[in-house]
Structure formats: C-alpha cells, structure tokens
Structure 1
Amino acid sequence: MNWYLAVLKNYVGFSGRARRKEYWMFTLFNLIVAIVLGFVDNLIGTTGLLGGIYALAVLLPAIAVTIRRLHDTGRAGWWLLLILIPIIGALVLLVFMILEGKSGNNDYGNDPKTQAA
C-alpha cells in the first residue's frame, strides 16, 4: 500500500527513476482496485462508471511512474509512445518494465536502490 500511495503523492513527478518494485506494486494495486470496482459496478448497475472515474484519477500517476521506470532502465520517457503500436509496442514496453534498472547513477538521476537502502 505504501508503494501505491508514494506514486500517488508523486503524481506529476516525471523526472527521476522508479524501481521495478514501485512500478509493479502500483500496477498490482491498480489491477485489484479495477477488479473490485468492476464487481461493484456490476452489482449496482452503473456499467463501468466507477471504474472509469478511477481510471481517469490514476491516469497521470500511472504515466508518471511508467516514465520514471523507463528512466531507471536508461531510456527516455518518449519510449512510452511505443504503446501506440498495436501488440508489439505493448510487448516491448512490458519487456522494458521487467528489465532491471541500470545500477549506479544515470542521466535521469541517482540509483533508487541505493537511496532506499
């Protein structure tokens, strides 16, 4: 939960780096909330209203943490535009999100693993 809240607090922080753990914990929590909201939407008959509101609320933090994750792998945030390429773009971004970040400092900031220790 702390990882999720940390991303929400840094919702417009596009500079710096994000560890794999920060990115994937945020993604996992988003998935859980989306499933729960989808279930609640079906129960009360709002056909995606709550899920849509939630998706809009976390859109900017999700983009920010993804860009910071790309920075951790040594790539510019512009690589996020790969998502516009159907299927292949999403697969390439998935690989980037899975890769371990560059150890030590890079052009985008200090190593988040050494800062957390």
Structure 2
Amino acid sequence: MTSMSFADAARTCLTTKYATFAGRARRTEYWWFSVVYVIATMVIVGGSWAVEVPLLSVLLLVFIVPMLSVSVRRLHDTGRSGRWMFIALIPVVGPVLYLVGMAVDSMPGTNQYGPSPKAADHPVG
C-alpha cells in the first residue's frame, strides 16, 4: 500500500486509532481524514436547524478526538512533539506554520515516535 485512501483514512481514524496519540501518521492519512472532518462538520452544522444544540456538540465531539489524535501522530511523523499544535494559536503566522508543518514529508527511518509508516509500506527484502 503506497498511500491511504479516503475510506481507509476514515476507517483508521474513526475505529482502530480513534484515540491513539502514539506513533506516526502519513500525510495521506492526515489530509484524507481532514476532508472527512470538514465534510462531517458541514453536514452536522447544515443539519443544525433540525437538531438541538446539545446533540450537535456530541456529534462534533465524535470527530474532534480522532482529529486531534491523527494531528499528533502526523506531527510525530515529521519529528515534532504534539505540543507543536499550539503554534496555530499565534495570530496570523501560527496557522500558516502549522499547515506547512503538516504538509512536509515524513522523517525517514525510525524516530523517537516509532518506525516510519513509509518503511512499513515498502519493506526491504
């Protein structure tokens, strides 16, 4: 498997790695799940006229935990701590730095967060 599909990213982030903050996530996993998150948010907010506000909060919480966990794993894949997410709180430049950090290529080999997911996709031998 050279990259993760939209369905694979949704399945991985919403089931097997729902609240897994350890390890690494490839760019495809992060960006595809970001698309899932945006679509789910638009659907939930779009349907807000028919649903009470407390239910909306619960539905959004279902997606916030895996979005945070895949974000931390993506930062780990680039060799950064999950705390690096706080850079997005810096006005104007913070979100840009955060997005650039999420878009850079994986750190090759093994780092302090585990083996590269790319290496797992392309075994030597």
Q: What is the deviation of 1:25?
A: 0.6
Q: Which one of 68, 72, 78 corresponds to residue 73 of structure 2?
A: 68
Q: What is the deviation of 1:22?
A: 0.3
Q: What is the deviation of 1:34?
A: 1.5
Match of 1:36 in 2: 43
TM-score for both structures, normalised by structure 1: 0.86
Q: What is the deviation of 1:116?
A: 2.7
Q: Is the 8 A contact 1:41 1:50 kept in 2?
A: no
RMSD, aligned α-carbons = 1.8
Q: What is the deviation of 1:50?
A: 5.1
Q: What is the deviation of 1:48?
A: 5.6
Q: Which one of 21, 24, 29 corresponds to residue 22 of structure 1?
A: 29
Match of 1:105 in 2: 110
Match of 2:91 in 1: 86
Match of 2:58 in 1: 53
Separation of aligned partners in 1, 2:59 and 2:91: 24
Q: Residue 77 in 1 paired to residue 82 in 2?
A: yes
Q: What is the deviation of 1:94?
A: 0.4
Q: Which one of 14, 17, 25 corresponds to residue 10 of structure 1?
A: 17
Q: What is the deviation of 1:80?
A: 1.1
After superposition, give the CA deviation of every residue in 1:73-107 in whole Å (9 maximum; x if it has no partner): 11111111112222322111100011111121111
Identity fraction in percent: 36
Q: What is the deviation of 1:114?
A: 1.8
Gaps (5+ residues) in structure 2?
1-6
Paired residues, number = 115
TM-score for both structures, normalised by structure 2: 0.81
Is the alpha carbon distance of 1:40 and 1:34 closer, same or farther for their aligned partners in structure 2, counting shifts above 3 Å?
A: same
